Amino acid sequence: MTAKQAGFNLIELMIALVVGIVLMASITTMFVDTKVSANRSSTVSNLQQQAQLALQVLVDDVRSIGSWAEFSGEDLADIQVPNIAGVNCSIVPAVGAVNAGNAHIPVTANWILSSSVVGVGNVNVANACLAPGYTISGGSDVVSIARVRGLITAVSDINSDSYYVAIAPQQAQLFEGRAPNGATNIDNVEIYPYVQHTYIVESHAIDGPRLSRFSFTDGDFITDMVVGNIEQIRIDFGVDNNEDGRADNYNMSANITEQMWRMNQIVSARIYVLARAKNKDMTFNNDAAYNVRFLPFTPTNNDNYRRFLLATTVVIKNNMMAVTQ
């Protein structure tokens, strides 16, 4: 005789549904938590990488700021220069402080200013330098660095669109590759590429912040490097007051004077890079204070952006520098 088969009764069906819902909710919660954790780890890792890249680029330039190889003339003004004038993208010291048409020469090309005073009688940044939608970020530093790159260039390898410095112990001449004007005929001369970089932090309402480097080439500035997610850079300089070759104190950019540069008192630098994620993380309330030495940074109203601060100290190899404030 065949036994009767019965299905679930109502109570058993309800219990099964509840157990299934609990299991599904647990699995969904675990999946969401795992996804959020993975996104958080990816964001933090990306910020670390971007900050490290930006810091390394700045370290390489700042360490060699004002380096002119074996030139030991009395002053950077001893370097003969052509008439260098910006074309479209122009980032120069204030008109009136120096010859506005010749502001990219070594004696005036090294300077640092807070972005809060850029364009207000200190540094003019032409709109042609900035990509559409980008503006200069507040609270960051703008720094211009001039030096030679430590690679001797053969006369046959000179590029007509680039700038070089022909250097002998007591004589140096800055020239454009297409017009050496006798620079390559100086006795015992060695020719080095002339480097002038200006670093600016830019912000964009959609694409977020970025660090841009402008290189002076062929009479104009071009953007030759961009590191994304960089919200601020700040550089404090170590000042030697008693000529023992060591920093007695560190000053932020606003307190660095022309005399400090002219008297070779600047011997080191502390570089800070603050990276910020492009998008907000609404699960994260950021009320941390980031220890940028003289001007600590605290997000406004828990803005939900993840950040990463990186800093280092470097010794300046050759502090034969000039500045325009």
Read off the pLDDT of residues 97-133 as tens digits, 9 standing for 90 and up. Answer: 444 556 677 877 888 888 877 765 566 777 778 888 9
Do residues 109 and 144 lie in contact, with contact meaning Cβ atoms separated by under 8 Å?
Answer: yes
Tokens of 79: 């370097």
pLDDT tens track for 205-264:
999 999 999 988 777 788 899 999 999 999 999 988 887 878 899 988 878 876 776 677
pLDDT tens track for 53-68:
999 999 999 998 878 8
Task: Identify the band that residue 191 occupies on the pLDDT scale cut at 50, 70 and 90.
Answer: very high
Any domain includes 323? no
Among 323, 134, 131, 105, residue whose Cα is nearest residue 235:
323
Any domain includes 255? yes
Please indicate whether residue 233 or residue 77 has the higher confidence score (pLDDT): 233
pLDDT tens track for 6-59:
666 777 777 778 888 888 877 777 767 666 666 667 778 899 999 999 999 999
Q: What is the CA radius of gyration of the chain?
A: 28
Any domain includes 324? no
Gap between the Cα atoms of 57 and 212, Å rounded:
11
Total domain count, the chain: 1
* Residue 242 burial by Cβ neighbours in a 10 Å radius (0-12, 13-18, 19+): exposed
Tokens of 324: 């325009």
Task: Identify the band that residue 151 occupies on the pLDDT scale cut at 50, 70 and 90.
Answer: confident
pLDDT tens track for 261-277:
667 778 899 999 999 99
Any domain includes 7? no
Q: What residue numbers bound the domain in which 260 lies? A: 12-315
What pLDDT is stored for residue 95 in this prediction?
45
What pLDDT is stored for residue 204 in this prediction?
92
Mean pLDDT of 268-291: 87
Mean pLDDT of 185-190: 91
Tokens of 193: 């590429």
Any domain includes 1? no
Any domain includes 221? yes
43-49 contacts, C-beta under 8 A, 24 or more apart: 43/277, 43/281, 43/306, 44/306, 44/308, 46/229, 46/277, 47/229, 47/275, 47/276, 47/277, 47/306, 47/307, 47/308, 48/275, 48/308, 48/310
pTM, full prediction: 0.81
Any domain includes 87? yes
Range list of β-strands (E), the chain? 91-93, 111-114, 123-125, 134-136, 141-148, 163-168, 171-176, 190-204, 210-217, 220-228, 230-239, 249-251, 266-276, 307-315
Any domain includes 198? yes
Do residues 258 and 324 lie in contact, with contact meaning Cβ atoms separated by under 8 Å?
Answer: yes
Residue 148 CB partners (closer than 8 Å, separation 6+): 67, 68, 69, 165, 167, 192, 193, 194, 195
- Taking the CA atoms of residue 309, residue 127, residue 65 and residue 178 in that order, the dihedral angle to the nearest 10 degrees is 140
What pLDDT is stored for residue 31 in this prediction?
67
Do residues 217 and 225 lie in contact, with contact meaning Cβ atoms separated by under 8 Å?
Answer: no
- Asked if pLDDT for residue 160 goes beyond 50, the answer is yes
Q: Is 312 helix (H, G, I), strand (E, B) or coil?
A: strand
**Sequence letter at residue 109:** A
